[in-house]
Structure formats: C-alpha cells, structure tokens
Chains A and B, each alone.
Chain A
C-alpha cells in the first residue's frame, strides 16, 4: 500500500492511529512549550493569589455586604456551564446515533471534565471558611440549596469521569503497543485498558455501559444546572426569584458548552492538522446546534424581560431599567449583540457558515456568556434591598488573578491531557464507520 492511498481514505487504521496519537508522540514545538509555560505562569499567579486570600480573609476581594457574591460565583456558574458541552455532544449525539460525533467525542468529553473540575473548585474558593466545608456533610441540612449543589456537582463530576474514562478502554488497548509511545505511557495504556481483547461480550458490555452513562448524564446535567439556578431563584430577590431560571441555566449551559467544544475542536484540528480526521461537517453541525440554542436563549431572555417589565412591579422594574437602559445597559446590549445576534447570524448566513465562521461565533459565545453570568449575578445584588445607594462592585486584583488562572487552566489542562491520551476516539470512529459500511451493504442487524 502506498503512502498516497492511505492519505485518501480517512478511515484507514494506521492513518487514524497516527492522527490520534500525533499530539502525544510528536515532539512538542516551540509554540507548545511557550504556551505551556505562559499558561502555567498565569495559573501559578492565581494559586498565589488564593493563598494570599486564605491568609488575609475574603476582605481582599471587592465584595461588600450588599454585593457579597461576585466573580467567584460567576466563574462557578460559567465553568460548570461549559462542562455541559461534553455531555451534550457525547451523550446526546451517541443516543441519536449521529454519525459525525466520532471525531469530536473525545475532545468534548475531555473539555467537559476539565471545565467541570475547574468550576467545582469555585464553591470552595468563595467560602469564608473553606476548611469547614466537610461540615456540609456532618451537619447535613437537606433544605439548603447549597447541600443540593454539592450533591449534584459531585455526582455530575463522577459521571463525567466515567463518561471520559470508559471510551478510552478500547482505544488504549489498540494503541498500547504503539512503539512511539514512551515506556510509562505504554504502561498507563495497558493498565487503563485492563484485559480488553475486543471480544463480542466485552464490546456488548462496553456499549451497554456507554449507553447507560449517556442516558444518565443528560438528566443529571439538567438537574445540576437547575439546582445551580436554585441557589439564586429560591431567594426572594427580584432578578433572581424567577421560574424561568432553571431552563435559563440549562440552555445557557448547553449553548456555551457547545461553543467551547467548537473552540477546542477547531484548535486541535488546526494545530495538529486533523482536517481529514475531523471533517468540517462536524464543526458546522455543532454550529447548527449552537444557532438553535442561541435562538432558544434569546427567546427565554425576551420572555423574562417582557414579564418583568410589562407588569412593572417596582423593585423588578427598577432593576430591569438599570439593566437595559441605565447603569448596566452597555454591558447588557454588548452581550445581546456578541452573545446572541452575531453568532446566530454567522451560522445562519451561508457565506460565513464555515469552520472559521463557526469558530468565531463560538469564541464570541464563550466570552459573552461569562459576561452574561456576571450580569445575572451582580446587578440584582447592587439594587438596594430597602433603600439607599446602589451598591458597587469592583473585583479586586485577587479575584481577577484567580479568574484568569481558571480561564488559563482550561487550555493548559487540555494540552496536558492530550499529551498523555489520544485526541481521537479511534474505536468509536471505527465502529461508526463499520456500522455505516454494514448499512450500505444491506446488513442492518449488526449493531450491539
């Protein structure tokens, strides 16, 4: 077989193997090293800032008795939201047998795991006494939304770990004998894949487990984001106390989650020349998903503003006025344009419905949803509860440093993960291709 023919067939096993392992075995270039060092420095600065906060107390933040939640809560909601992308792309597309999921499922699952792990640290970072967090268990109070949050996030974290680890088993079994891998990676791969021999029974078990976790993780993710919204909507504060908050959080999470999967996929596709393995179609399809979710989010935003504004109950109207016409209006409309209008247009117009266009849309969504979470949390707090001046909130350098570290940790952790583990789900891609060739051959009874 000549080199040129293996280039033509994407599904050729050797080609797929080497593409999946390219980020692992390729000697890191200068760009990679510079990026790792740069991101590592940002994360270290954030860690140092957190130590400073631990020593001096939460007084080092810009928070006040009026605006007592700020950037940390924004980070928590944003990052846990990002992790929904993995659940969507991997689980929903698996259950609906979407054939284009193959090349992006590993990236989606890894992104979900990384963003959730980062997001799950913020409940701790924002506490006045993080060393007492175990008291949530010993003094358990089932009526508290914080207790629900803890149970939900930990369960979701566990499910995300399973969703990430299981599909790796057949892949690592396939790749463990790859001579290019170093010794410790070979040992890791062998340990992880256990006694996988791709027998029919093993494949059935794996498929069942994967379908099971896919079925479980979707309602679980819905619950996590709804329960997260309860920390706000189960209070009597105008701007938070709203029945729309559960669905609002869920849609926002999938929307921004798919966006960050697009960003990661596009980055790896470009950096490691995976254009053949990750077809443009996969990214454009994710773009369609994003456009639909963007429209859905716009609809929820519209109903929220209309129901609050039309009735004009004083406290709600004051807040709404400040949000769309007064002190927060620049940020609010900036979000509407960059987070909803432009991304949806970029995907709707044929001219821009390209990998570049969808990636740009995803970048806009990712950034502007950070802003939207801030606008969801902070303005309702700045409104005086009884009377007096509007509160102000200027995040301190400690909060900025820790937030920057969280943002930098996403690419850093992803780069480290894919230095160790294959970026493409080799087994899944092969399986999908086999199913399709079987279907083409008229034999449809071969699945499971």
Chain B
C-alpha cells in the first residue's frame, strides 16, 4: 500500500549538470570558489535547482500515472484475479441480486452496492442492466483517494478501508459508473453478533465514509459464490478467475475467454480507459457498448 513512496529518495533523473557553463553561471559556482559571494545565495540556487529537477521528474509520473498501478499494487496474487460476467440475455431485472447483496452486507434499504438500470437499446427494446463496482484495473477512485483508503487487493479487487476513509467523496466524483455510495446515516439496527471490521467486510457500514461492492471477497476466500451470484434466480451472473480462465454461475462452468469471445462480451464505458473487470454479454438488441 505504501509501496509507491519508494523512489522518492532516489536521485532524480534530471540531475543538474554543473559542467555546463550556463548552469554553473546560474548557480554561481565560480564565484563561490573565490569566496566572493554569499554562501546563502549559492545554497538557495542549488536548492531551487534540486527542487525543480525533482518536481520535474515526478510531474510526469503523477500526471500521466505511467507506472502508478505497479507502484500501488504491492503484490499480485498469481492464483486469483477475479472478474464478473453479466449475461444480459438472461437478466429479467428482478432485483434479487440487490436484495441478496443487502442481506449479506447488512446494508440499509436505501444503499445499493449493485444497481439494476432499466435501459432502452438502439432498436427501442427495453433491457435491464445490473451495475456494480467494475473492479477497474486503472481505477479513477484509487488514484484520487487522498489517504490511500481505497486500494487494490492483490487479487485485483478494489477495496475501501472505512477506518482510513476521511469522507471527502472525491472517489464518488471520479467513478464513472456511480458504483460508490456514502454512508450518510448511522446504522443502528445491526445486531452485535454480525459486526465485523475487516476492510473487505465492514459491518455495519461506518457513518461518514464511502462504501461499495467488495465482490464478496470474504466469501470467495471460503470457496463460496458472491451474494449476488447466489441470489440470481436467472443464472445471469458469473464470477470468474482470469488466471484459471474459468467462470461459473453456480450451475454451469465455462471457459472464460471462450465464453466472452463467442458471445461478443463488452466492458462498460471501455473508452474511458479504466480497464474494468466486469464484462457484459448483450443479446436483446441493445447497443454493444452502451
């Protein structure tokens, strides 16, 4: 989590070159040698140059976020990289997934970590589309979080540590999928025996922090299916593992890459470059890249 700080103390790549006559003029090196200028002036120039060079090098890293993911991801789980697939041909918009999710995480009625939208395709046919956290590989929410409360787990799942979240809601502004919710009210109706304080499984939700889908990693760890998959009576939701190239909706198990390829799976708002790990299979005449 704190991996990205490495490299701060390393020499910056644009170290000033004092052999250049112009630069040495600038930092007044020759005059120092003769002892005629103030040491303070020299140190000031040197400091300015150093800070400029360091900031200049860092600027590109920050703004273009080149190797940001590698930096923030401390380790990679080589056995599990979770994905989800929604087969929209089967989804009938019954909202059972929402209920299953709310029950599992003891969420209040108003809080939906998975939402079901009723949309209309290009041919005018209505269809329903469940949307949850896309577990983006290049997640805008992780990038904008000022306290690293949102982070990547080694298995690729994006988690909010509600004990670190300061509640600035910058991640909600950054998320293009509206997947994040704020815990406005205190939850007082959850019995004590269900309380849990793991970042992956916080019950009840902490007031004043941001919550979102955790892909039920606490259940995946016990070889169980996520709550939404379990509660889907249409078998429309698959959970899969990129490493093993497999996905299952409990009743059928498919080869993930073949299943996605054969069915022209798409990712939601692919053009934003967030690299989501949630796939959709269209089939009722809706736009492929809605």
Question: Which A residues contact B (CB, under 8 angstroms)?
Answer: 57-59, 63-66, 68-69, 123, 126-130, 132-133, 135-136, 139-147, 150, 231-232, 234-237, 240, 385-388
**Cβ–Cβ < 8 Å partners of A132 in chain B:** 147, 164-166
Asked whether, in the complex, the Cβ of A144 is within 8 Å of the Cβ of B166, the reply is no
Q: How far is B166's CA from A147's CA once the two chains are assembled, in angstroms? A: 12
Nearest-CB distance from B77 to chain A (Å)?
Answer: 23
Q: A residues within 8 A CB of B181?
A: 65
Q: A58-B182, A144-B146 are in contact. Are A139 and B164 (CB under 8 A)?
A: yes
User: From residue A311, how far is it (CB to closest CB) to chain B in Å?
Assistant: 15
Given A57-B184, A63-B184, A65-B181 in contact, is the A232-B173 Cβ separation under 8 Å?
yes
Query: Taking A65-B182, A128-B182, A135-B166 as contacts, is the C-beta distance between A235 and B140 under 8 angstroms?
Result: yes
Task: Judge whether B148 and A57 touch: CB under 8 Å.
Answer: no
Q: Contact between B164 and A144 (Cβ–Cβ < 8 Å)?
A: no
Given contacts A136-B147, A231-B170, A385-B176, contact A128 B117 (CB under 8 A): no
Rank and list the top 6 A-B pairs by shortest CB-CB distance, nearest first.
A128-B167, A128-B208, A146-B146, A59-B184, A144-B146, A385-B178
Knowing A128-B209, A236-B272, say if A386 contacts B186 (CB, 8 Å): no
Let me know if B119 is at the binding interface, CB within 8 A.
yes
Which single residue of chain A is at the shortest CB-CB distance from B269? A236
Q: Which residue of B lies closest to A230 (CB)?
A: B144
B58 interface residue (CB < 8 Å to A): yes
Chain B CB within 10 Å, residue with most, of A59, A127, A144? A144
- A73, closest chain B residue (CB): B169
| From B169, B177, B207, contact of A385 by CB (8 A) | B177
How far, in Å, is B167 (CB) from chain A's closest CB?
2
Q: How far is the CA of A263 from the CA of B147 in the complex (A)?
A: 40
13 additional A-B pairs beyond A143-B62, A144-B170, beta carbons within 8 Å, are A59-B184, A128-B207, A128-B208, A128-B209, A129-B208, A132-B166, A133-B166, A135-B166, A141-B4, A143-B144, A145-B144, A231-B173, A385-B177
Subset of 23 A-B contacts with CB under 8 Å:
A58-B208, A59-B207, A65-B181, A123-B168, A127-B208, A128-B167, A128-B169, A128-B182, A128-B210, A129-B166, A132-B164, A135-B147, A139-B2, A139-B147, A139-B164, A141-B4, A143-B62, A145-B144, A146-B144, A147-B146, A232-B173, A236-B140, A386-B177
B146 touching A141, Cβ below 8 Å: yes
- C-alpha gap A144/B148 in the complex (Å): 9
- Complex contact B145–A144 (CB within 8 A): yes
Q: With a CB–CB cut-off of 8 A, which chain A residues contact B272?
A: 236
Chain B: interface size category = 35 or more
Q: Tell me if B174 counts as interface (CB < 8 A to partner A).
A: yes
The listed residue with most B CB atoms (<10 A of its CB), out of A146, A232, A388, is: A146
Interface contact B117-A387, CB-CB below 8 Å: yes
Query: Residues 136-174 of chain B: 1 if any A CB is under 8 Å from the residue's CB, otherwise 0?
Result: 000010011111110000000000000011111110111
Asked if B65 lies at the interface with its beta carbon under 8 angstroms from chain A, I say yes
Q: Which residues of B contact A130 (CB under 8 A)?
A: 166
> A144 to B63, alpha carbons, bound, how many Å?
10
A68 touches B169 (CB 8 A): yes
Assembled-state Cα–Cα distance A66/B182 (Å) = 10
Binding site for A on B (CB under 8 A): 2, 4-5, 58, 62, 65, 68, 115, 117-119, 131, 140, 143-149, 164-170, 172-174, 176-178, 180-186, 207-210, 272
Instruction: Name the B residues within 8 Å of A231 (CB-CB).
Output: 170, 173
**Distance in Å from the Cβ of A71 to the closest Cβ of chain B?**
14
Do A135 and B164 form a contact, CB below 8 Å, given A146-B144, A232-B173, A385-B176?
Answer: yes
What separation, in Å, do the CA atoms of A123 and B169 have in the docked complex? Answer: 11
A275 to B154, CA, bound (A): 69
CA gap between A28 and B115 in the complex, in Å: 61
| Contact of B148 with A139 in the complex, beta carbons under 8 Å | yes
Residue of A nearest to B272 (CB): A236
Q: Is the pair A146, B148 in contact by a Cβ cutoff of 8 Å?
A: no
Contacts of B208 in A (CB 8 A): 57-58, 127-129
Which residues from chain A contact B169 at a C-beta distance below 8 Å? Answer: 68-69, 128
Q: Which one of B65, B147, B169 has the highest number of Cβ atoms from chain A below 10 Å of its Cβ?
A: B147
Cα–Cα distance between A123 and B146 once the two chains are bound (Å) = 13
Residues of chain B lying within 8 A (CB to CB) of residue A123:
168
A141 adjacent to B207 (CB under 8 Å): no
Residue of B nearest to A126 (CB): B168
B173 x A69 contact (CB < 8 A): yes
A215 to B274, CA, bound (A): 40
Docked pose: A81 CA to B186 CA in angstroms: 34
Q: How far, in Å, is A140 (CB) from chain B's closest CB?
A: 8
Known contacts: A68-B169, A126-B168, A141-B145. The answer to whether A57 contacts B119 by CB under 8 A is: no
Q: Are B149 and A139 in contact (CB under 8 A)?
A: yes
Q: Are A129 and B143 interface neighbours, CB within 8 A?
A: no
Distance of A403 Cα from B4 Cα, bound (Å): 38
**Interchain CB contact under 8 A, B207 and A386:** no
Q: Complex: how many Å from CA A240 to CA B210?
A: 21
**Contact between A65 and B165 (Cβ–Cβ < 8 Å)?**
no
Residues in A with CB closer than 8 Å to B165 are 128-129, 132
Q: In chain A, what residue has the closest Cβ to B68?
A: A143
Q: How far is the CA of A388 from the CA of B184 in the complex (A)?
A: 21
Chain A proximity of B108: nearest CB distance (Å): 11
Q: What A residues does B176 contact at CB under 8 A?
A: 236-237, 385
A127 near B182 with CB under 8 A, answer: no
Contacts of B168 in A (CB 8 A): 123, 126-128, 146
Give the residues in chain A near B143, CB-CB below 8 Å. 143-144
Most A CB within 10 A of own CB, among B168, B180, B207, B272: B168
**Which chain B residues border A234 with CB–CB below 8 Å?**
144, 174
Q: How far is the CB of B221 from chain A (nearest CB, A)?
A: 25
Which residues does chain A contribute within 8 Å of B5, judged by CB atoms? 140
Instruction: Collect the chain B residues with CB atoms within 8 Å of residue A128's CB.
Output: 165-169, 182-183, 207-210
Q: In the docked arrangement, what's the CA distance between A68 and B58, Å?
A: 32
Cα A386 to Cα B112 with chains together (Å): 15
CB–CB B140/A386 < 8 A: no
Rounded to whole Å, the gap between the CB of B122 and the closest CB of chain A is 13
Of the candidates B58, B173, B185, which one forms a contact with A59 in the assembled complex, judged by CB atoms under 8 Å apart? B185
B276 to chain A, nearest CB (A): 13
Residue of B nearest to A381 (CB): B173
A235 to B177, CA, bound (A): 12
**How far, in whole Å, are A11 and B64 apart by their CA atoms in the complex?**
56
- How many Å from the CB of A319 to the closest CB on chain B? 15
Q: How far is the CA of A127 from the CA of B182 in the complex (A)?
A: 11
Complex CA distance for A65 and B107, rounded to whole angstroms: 14
